[in-house]
Amino acid sequence: MDKVTKNNILIIGGPNTGKTHFGAQLYGRLNSRQFEFKIDPKYRPFDLTIFENALNNLYDGKRAAHTEAGANRSIELKVTNESGQEVVFTFPDYAGEQITSIVENRIVNNTWQSYIQKSTSWVLFIRLKELTPVEDIINKGIPSPEEIQKRKSQTPPIKISDVAFFTELLQTLVYVKGLSTFNKIDTPNLTVMLSCWDELNQPNDTVPSELLKQRLPMLFYFLVNNWQKNSLSVLGLSSTEKSLTDDPDDEYIDKTPINFGYVINKNGKRENDLTLSIYDFLGYE
């Protein structure tokens, strides 16, 4: 069996969803060679600028900055696991506005066409805490006649819901990739990362896909109806384990960043080894 798998993982996430912190923390784990997947020392990437600022800030116990709007950088990593399996993957970092702009303007520029064409796995970042809760009969009840009258007298700004946003985005990617949805998709494999999980204050055994189903049911069923079961996973992710600020966090400085952060695997189990998520990205069972 060919033991080298070449993968092109496309991280997909709007502004402030945690892409850069994940990249930096994953890189830190791979580079430490203490976890399931390790960077092949013969192929240590030469140019680390993509995560350098973020890594330096984390070592100082501070959060990293927003990725500047025009940035489009990626890093190719060659990693191996305990059983000698080699995975080569490309990891991009860009400003999340680029994703918002795809949906708002219905335009996929050349850079994004190429990202989408080359990709073999999609990892969609959703930061549930930042989404606007949709008012419905269950969580809000029926508004009073005065409230209904007030709403009718003001024209609401046109803004699509979060569910519509993610669905439009995925449909655009599927279209650009030239996929048919007559049959359920198996490639690209799709991993939904519910990022900044620590902010959600969930009980220990929460299963990420159950939380997605509860919070964004329409998106959940869109995914289940369009992706094959083995090509879809929903994980929880806390890259930093707690909210960092621009002031140094002493615990981070003492313990170093690789000792913070975890994924909640698809069965609801917490794993401190962020590199295990690579198996989900690749779609291995």
Q: Taking the complex as a whole, how short is the minimal distance between the CB of residue 69 and Mg ion, in angstroms?
A: 10
Is 96 near ligand GTP (CB under 6 A)?
yes
Instruction: Evaluate whether 248 touches 60 at the Cβ level (below 8 Å).
Output: yes
CB of 155 to ligand GTP, least distance (A): 30
Give the pair of three-digit tokens for residue 40. 């092949």
Contact with ligand GTP (CB under 6 A) among 9, 10, 12, 13: 13
Indicate which single residue of 8, 67, 195, 233 sits in contact with Mg ion (rule: CB under 5 A). 67
Place of tokens 């046109």: 158
* Among Mg ion, ligand GTP, none, residue 16 binds (CB under 5-8 Å by kind): ligand GTP
Q: How far apart are CA 228 and CA 175, in angstroms?
A: 17
User: How many alpha carbons fall within 13 Å on the CB side of residue 76?
Assistant: 7
CB atoms within 10 A of CB 90: 17
Residue 28 interacts with ligand GTP (CB under 6 A): yes or no: no
Q: Which residue matches tokens 């929460």?
A: 206
Place of tokens 């803004």: 159
The nearest distance, CB 54 to ligand GTP, in angstroms, is: 7
Does 167 engage in binding with ligand GTP (CB under 6 A)?
no
d(CA 278, CA 36): 10
Check residue 20 for interaction with ligand GTP (CB under 6 A). yes
Residues 76, 92: contact at Cβ < 8 Å? no
Total binding residues toward Mg ion, as defined by CB under 5 A: 2
| Residue ranges that bind ligand GTP, judged by CB under 6 A | 13, 15-21, 63-64, 66-67, 95-96, 196, 198-199, 238-240, 242-244
| Residue ranges that bind Mg ion, judged by CB under 5 A | 20, 67
